[in-house]
Amino acid sequence: MALSVHWLYRPRFRLCLSVLAFLLVAALGTLAISWQTSQGLRKDHAASLAQSVYMVDMTLDNAAVAADTVNYLIGAPCTEETIQALRWQVAKVPNVRTVNLYTGDTIYCTSLFGEKIDFVSQGHYAGGQLMLMSGNAVTPNHPLIAYRHDVNGQGVLVGVDGYFLHNILRLLSQQKFLVLKVGDQWMDNQGKIHRDLGWPKGERMALASQRYPYEMRLVISGSDHWRYIFDYATASLVLFPLVGLFVAFMTYGLLGRFGTPVTALKTALEKKQFIPWLQPVVDGTDHKITGCEVLMRWQHPHSGLIPPYQFIPLAEESGLIVPMTRSMMAQVRDQFGPIAAQLPKGFHFGFNICASHFKDLTLVEDCKAFIDAFKENPVHLVLELTERELIEQTDITHSLFSSLRRMGVLIAMDDFGTGHSSLAYLQNFHIDILKIDQSFIGRIGTDALAGHIVDNVIDLAKRLRLIIVAEGVETQAQVDYLTPYQLEFLQGYFFSKPLAPNTFIEKWLKE
C-alpha cells in the first residue's frame, strides 16, 4: 500500500504540481514561439535584403546604361555636341541626374554646367566604381550615388539620384534597421549619409550585390523580436496558455481522481472494510481470559488484511480515525452484545482512542451505547490512550473525562514508558490502567537495564494504585520473570495473537 505518499495528493501539493505543469507548457511555448519568430524574422529579413539588392542593382543598371551610351565620348573635348550628348542621357535615362566626363582627378565636362573644371579623388570610389555623396553643387542636401565608368584613368561619372535609393530603403525598412553600405559610407532610410554609423545592438544580416561593389545590411534587435511575435506567432500566443491551463487542470483533476489514499480510506469506511480483531488479555496469575484489546484491520478486497501501522497515521491525520473507531465500537457491540452471557464476569473490552477523538462529544454517547448493550452481563469498557500523544488539559477534555468516569469507563495509558507523561499527568486524568510497553517486556532477560525499568514502572504503578498490563509477552521466560510481581493482566503472543472475532469466540469464549 502506497499510503506513505499521501502528501502527493494533498490539495496544496496538487496545486503546486499543476502550476509547475502550466509553467512547463508556458516555457515550452515560449521556446517554440521564440524559435518560430526568429525563423520567420530571418526569412523575412533575407527576403527584404534580396529585394533591396535587386532594386538598387536596377537603379545602378540605369547609370551603367547611360555611361555605356556615352562611352565613345571618353577623352573627347567638351564641345557643345558633347554636352548635348551628356544632357540627352540625363533626359532619357531614368534616375540619372548628371553625366560627366573626367580625366585623372579632373572633371572637365558636365551635363549641368557644360565645360567646368572640378576635382574628385578617384581613390574615394568603392571598388573603383561607386561613391555615396550627401549632395552636389546644385542640391547640396540631396544625396546621390556616383557611378564611375573608367577606361585607363579616363571615363564617365554618372550621378544617380539618391531619392530612389532612399525610397527603396524607406519601403523595405519597415520595423527594421536597413542601410545601404558603399565602401565605408552608409545611407540610412532617412536618406542621410554616414560614416562610422553607431549600429544598434542585435543580430546583423548582410547581402552583397553580385554586380556592384555595395551591400545591404540590417540589424534584428530584441524589440523587433517582440513585435514580430504578434505577426508570426499570434496563434501560438493564444494556444500555449490555453494548453498550459488545460494541462494544469488535468494534472490537478487526475491527481485527485486516481483516488487519494484519503479517498480510499473513506470508501473503505463506507464499505465497512475496517474490521475489529481481538487479542485476549489474561489474568496475571492464572492466565485465564479477562478481556481483550480491539485492534483494527483493513480487509482490503485486493491487498488482503492490512495491518494498522499502514493506515492509522493517515486516518489520524485526515480525521477519519474518529468515524473508524466509532465503527469498531459499533461492530464489537453488535457482535458481542447478543452473546454477553458467554463472557466471563467483569470482562473488559479495550479500544485504542487517539487524542483528537477526545475533543469529540460523540465519544460519550458511543461509550454509553456500548455499555448499554451489555446490560445482561455488564462489561468494563477501557479506552487506551497512547503515551506518545498526550491529551491537552482543557475544559472540554476534563468534562469528557468526568462524564466517562461517571459511566464507569476505564482509562488506560498505552505504551507506557515510551512517552514522557509526568506523574501529574497520570493523576490529572485519573488514569486507571498502565500498559507497560512491549519494548521493555521484549528485553526482559536480554539486558539488566530493561529489567530495572520494568521493576521501576511496576513499582511506580503499584504506588499510584494503578492496574498494570504487561504487553507483548512472548516467552515463558518473560512470564516467569513477571509472575512474582502478581500483575493484574498479561497480553501477548505467548497467550494469543490477535484473532478475527469468530475465531476469538470459538477459541476463548466457548470453553
- Which partner in ligand C2E, Ca ion, none is near 307 (CB below 5 to 8 A by kind)? ligand C2E
Q: Which does 354 bind (CB under 5 to 8 A by kind): ligand C2E, Ca ion, none?
A: ligand C2E
Segment lying near Ca ion (by CB under 5 A), choices 133-141, 275-283, 304-312, 379-387: 379-387
CA 25, 27, 33, 35 torsion-angle sign: negative
Q: How far apart are CA 38 and CA 224, in angstroms?
A: 10
Which region among 305-313, 337-345, 359-367, 373-381 touches ligand C2E (by CB under 6 A)?
Answer: 305-313
List, in order, residues 6 or more apart from 403 with CB less than 8 Å away.
364
DSSP SS3 for 206:
strand
Residue 72: alpha-carbon gap to chain centroid: 79
Q: Which stretch binds ligand C2E (CB under 6 A): 5-13, 31-39, 341-349, 487-495?
A: 487-495
From residue 172 to residue 211, what is the string marking binding to Ca ion with x (rule CB under 5 A)?
----------------------------------------
What is the distance between the alpha carbons of residues 19 and 249, in angstroms, rounded to a whole number? Answer: 9
Distance in Å, CB of 351 to ligand C2E, minimum: 6
Q: Which does 337 bind (CB under 5 to 8 A by kind): ligand C2E, Ca ion, none?
A: none
Residues between 234 and 293 with contacts to ligand C2E, criterion CB under 6 A: 279
Closer to ligand C2E by CB, 84 or 503: give it.
503
Decide: is 387 part of the binding site for Ca ion (CB under 5 A).
no
Hey, how many other C-beta atoms are within 10 angstroms of the C-beta on 500? 15
Total residues interacting with Ca ion, rule: CB under 5 A? 5
Q: Which among 67-75, 221-229, 368-376, 491-499 is the span making contact with ligand C2E, rule CB under 6 A?
A: 491-499
98 binds, among Ca ion, ligand C2E, none (CB under 5 to 8 A by kind): none
Based on the shown chain and the rule CB under 5 A, indicate whether residue 352 belongs to the binding site for Ca ion: yes
Q: Which distant-in-sequence residues (6+ apart) come within 8 Å of 129 by Cβ?
A: 147, 148, 150, 212, 213
**Which residues between 459 and 478 bind Ca ion (CB under 5 A)?**
471
Q: Which helix (H) or strand (E) holds 401?
A: helix 395-407
Closest distance of CB 420 from ligand C2E, Å:
17
Distance of CA 353 to the CA centre of its chain: 39
Is 493 a binding residue for ligand C2E by CB under 6 A? The answer is: yes
Burial class (CB in 10 A: 0-12, 13-18, 19+), 19: middle
Question: Which partner from the list ligand C2E, Ca ion, none does 89 bind, CB cut-off 5 to 8 Å by kind?
Answer: none
**Count of residues near ligand C2E by CB under 6 A:** 24
Query: Could you tell me the end-to-end alpha-carbon distance of the chain, in angstroms, rounded to an integer?
Result: 38
> Could you identify the residue written with the cell 493484574?
488
For residues 482 and 127, what is the distance between their CA atoms, to the nearest angstrom? 114
Whole-angstrom CA distances from 127 to 10, 122, 212, 431 are 75, 10, 8, 108
What residues numbered 366-405 form the site for ligand C2E, per CB under 6 A? 384, 386
* d(C-alpha 460, C-alpha 466), whole Å: 9
To Ca ion, the closest distance from the beta carbon of 415 in angstroms equals: 4
Strand, coil or helix: 88: helix
174 versus 502: smaller Cβ distance to ligand C2E:
502
Does residue number 384 form part of the binding site for Ca ion (CB under 5 A)? yes
Nearer Cβ to Ca ion, position 236 or 352? Answer: 352
The DSSP 8-state label assigned to residue 307 in this structure reads: P
Region from 147-155, 207-215, 321-329, 345-353 binding Ca ion, contact rule CB under 5 A: 345-353
Among 414, 453, 482, 488, binds ligand C2E (CB under 6 A): 414
Please state, as a whole number, how many other Cβ atoms lie within 10 Å of the Cβ of residue 502.
Answer: 9
In this chain, which of 57, 115, 188, 474 binds ligand C2E, going by CB under 6 A? 474
**Contact call for residue 414 and Ca ion (CB under 5 A):** yes
494 within 8 A of 475, measured Cβ to Cβ: yes
Residue 100 phi, psi (nearest 5): -130, 155
Interacting residues with ligand C2E (CB under 6 A) = 279, 295-296, 307-309, 312, 321, 325, 328, 352, 354, 384, 386, 414-415, 438, 472-474, 491-493, 498
